Amino acid sequence: MAHRTPIVGGNWKMNTDLASAVELADNVVASCSPFVQHTDIALFPPFPYLQAVGKTLGHHGILLGAQDVYYEASGAFTGEVSAAMLVDLNVAVVLTGHSERRHIIGESDELVNLKTRAALDAGLWVILCVGETIEQREAGQVDDVNVRQLTIGLDGVPVEQMRQVIIAYEPVWAIGTGRTATPEDAEAVHRVLRATLADLYDESVAESVRIQYGGSVKANNARELFSQPNIDGFLVGGASLKADEFAAIVQATAATNVSQ
Ligand code: PEP
């Protein structure tokens, strides 16, 4: 089986202020730096704090991430932020298709695809998020929804750019609810996503792309989730706002990875 470096992201969403963002980043550097040898770690602060958080992350090996990106290069797009602007700020990785952008802001699969392609073209890593709502799960549409979001999200992405791509499976009903998918349910969807990557590309791409799980991941459930063969790390919301809790989640991936 391919070796996949685990990856854990902390999505701060629309939380913190300037002082607390810098303090949190500082505490994450202190608690997580020892793990960067084994696990890729990224923080996703709000846009206005990217530069300050980036400065705090310095050269400790923790990646600076952005929660969103626009697909146009420049021009009359009030309020939007281009991929080149993010690169200017030393952003290394962006989220696309996060469920809050799909379901609160109303982003379509096609818009997610445009953003994904623009970010990849700028040389950024992309965490492409997919996931079904509770209604879709109850209607037996889990695989259909996730395969569709993945397939459209990656439409037109050439195989050479797939090394910049990470997928996050985030069931909408598990995000911020305290309700986590069971390791078996998450693993089942991760397997389907990996099989879809093999269909869209080939086995070697499918084996090398990292697939994170997201949805109420905490220190006390990370290890069991990570023990599943197709779960390669986590995208963490609420628990990433506490440096100790986030570090414990990172440690769960690093410890398992080291002992393999
Ligand atoms: C997220 O925002 O991607 C997320 C998974 O949030 P939470 O961990 O709070 O469920």
At residue 93, φ and ψ (nearest 5 deg) are -150, 140
Q: What is the pTM of this model?
A: 0.97
Please return the burial class of 88, using the count of CB atoms within 10 Å of its CB with bins 0-12, 13-18 and 19+. exposed
**Which residue, by CA, sits nearest to atom 8 of ligand 1?**
237
DSSP 10: E
User: What is the distance in A from the centroid of ligand 1 to the CA of 36?
Assistant: 21
User: What is the distance in A from the centroid of ligand 1 to the CA of 172?
Assistant: 9
Strand partners, 44: 11
Please return the burial class of 1, using the count of CB atoms within 10 Å of its CB with bins 0-12, 13-18 and 19+. exposed
Residues with CB under 6 A from ligand 1: 11, 170, 175-176, 214-217, 235-239
- 98 in active site: yes
pLDDT digits (tens, 9 = 90+) for 103-149: 999 999 999 999 999 999 999 999 999 999 999 999 999 999 999 99
- 184 in active site: no
**Selected catalytic residue, list 170, 187, 190, 245:** 170
Element (H, E) at 237: none
Residue 20: pLDDT above 90? yes
Please return the burial class of 46, using the count of CB atoms within 10 Å of its CB with bins 0-12, 13-18 and 19+. middle
Strand partners, 94: 66, 126
At residue 214, φ and ψ (nearest 5 deg) are -140, 145
148/145 Cα distance (integer angstroms):
5
Length of the chain: 260
pLDDT band at 260 (very low <50, low <70, confident <90, very high): very low
